[in-house]
A and B are shown apart, each in its own frame.
Chain A
Amino acid sequence: MAPTARPTVAQPLSPHLQIYRWTWTMAMSVFHRITGTALYGGSALVAVWLVALASGPAAYAWVAWFFGSWVGLLVLFAYTWVLMHHMLGGLRHFVWDFGVGLERGERLWLSRGTLIGSVALTVAIWALALILR
């Protein structure tokens, strides 16, 4: 059989984010990807921190100075929130993977709970860290 030519017409794409009304589940789904991407980039910071520690006191002093500066502390605070948000988002997906929590009210509160819980956990972690210092 002769090979058939591939169609030259552009494949239609399904409508994307811009045409939908924003809902909590959609916003938290988008946040999950954004926070995942942020953590992906942030893993390089963890690598820099660990390699600096293994390189000696001079290298570690630089990295410790950066993370102790207000920019560094802001990065760490944001990192904490992003990590907590992605973690709770993952737990929400675990619940949904088992086919529960999908009713209208349940999925709304699971999504709201992700945001509320991530903020609460972040504040709790930083409060504990500052109190125990």
Chain B
Amino acid sequence: MADNRQNTNLSIRTPRARVRGLGPSGHGAEHWWLQRLTAAANAPLMLAFVVIVALMAGRPYPEAVALMGHPAAALILILAVISVTLHMRLGMQVIIEDYVHDKGLRIAALFANNFYAVVVAVACLYAILRVGLARLA
């Protein structure tokens, strides 16, 4: 596909708009980009997450703690939590913007979306760090 964005003869974008690189809404490109970036990170991280969950399943508590406390498992889980919560916050934001038409409701839903993503992220990270660091003491 030909990229005509740099050519002012073929593109109607102004030089200033071209330099800012943000499109007509003033934002959006970074949302799209971060969605794809986290998607690329999620694929290997979540496959590893599935393996970790499968290994944890049915184990007695001390073994489960030891497995989760392993640096490799903890690192993979921390990376997965960061990438996934960023990704799901962006995805839900698009769904809200598409389907919630009432302005007040939409703002409330967007607030709730941000709070939910942060609460999930912080709860998971706290738990992973607590399990991972507890054995050092």
The segment from B14-22, B23-31, B36-44 found at the interface with A is B36-44
Chain B contact residues: over half helix, strand or loop, or mixed? helix
- A-B interface contact total, Cβ < 8 Å: 77
Most interface-central of B36, B50, B68 (chain A CB within 10 A):
B50
- Asked whether, in the complex, the Cβ of A125 is within 8 Å of the Cβ of B54, the reply is yes
With A47-B123, A53-B68 as contacts: A90 and B43 at CB distance below 8 Å: yes
The segment from A21-29, A32-40, A108-116 found at the interface with B is A32-40
Flag whether B136 is at the interface (Cβ < 8 A): no
- Asked whether, in the complex, the Cβ of A87 is within 8 Å of the Cβ of B42, the reply is yes
With A87-B43, A90-B39 as contacts: A43 and B127 at CB distance below 8 Å: no
Query: Which of under 10, 10 to 19, 20 to 34, or 35 or more describes the interface residues of B?
Result: 20 to 34
Chain B residues with CB under 8 A of A36? 88, 91-92, 95
Flag whether A46 is at the interface (Cβ < 8 A): yes
Chain A contact residues: over half helix, strand or loop, or mixed? helix
- Asked whether, in the complex, the Cβ of A51 is within 8 Å of the Cβ of B127, the reply is yes
With A90-B42, A99-B1 as contacts: A39 and B88 at CB distance below 8 Å: yes
Q: Among A37, A54, A94, A133, point to the contact of B36 (Cβ < 8 A).
A: A94
Q: Among A50, A57, A87, A91, point to the contact of B46 (Cβ < 8 A).
A: A87
Contact residues, B43-101 vs A (CB, 8 A): 43, 46-47, 50, 53-54, 57-58, 61, 64-65, 68, 77, 84-85, 88, 91-92, 95
Contact residues, A89-115 vs B (CB, 8 A): 90-91, 93-94, 97, 99
Chain B residues with CB under 8 A of A90? 39, 42-43
- Asked whether, in the complex, the Cβ of A94 is within 8 Å of the Cβ of B61, the reply is no
Flag whether A83 is at the interface (Cβ < 8 A): yes
- Asked whether, in the complex, the Cβ of B57 is within 8 Å of the Cβ of A129, the reply is yes
Chain A residues with CB under 8 A of B119? 47
List residues of A whose CB falls within 8 A of some B CB.
33, 36-37, 39-40, 43-44, 46-47, 50-51, 53-54, 57, 60-61, 64, 67-68, 76, 80, 83, 87, 90-91, 93-94, 97, 99, 125, 128-129, 133
Q: What are 6 residue pairs bridging A and B, where the CB atoms are less than 8 Å apart in the complex? A: A50-B123, A51-B123, A64-B58, A90-B39, A94-B36, A133-B58
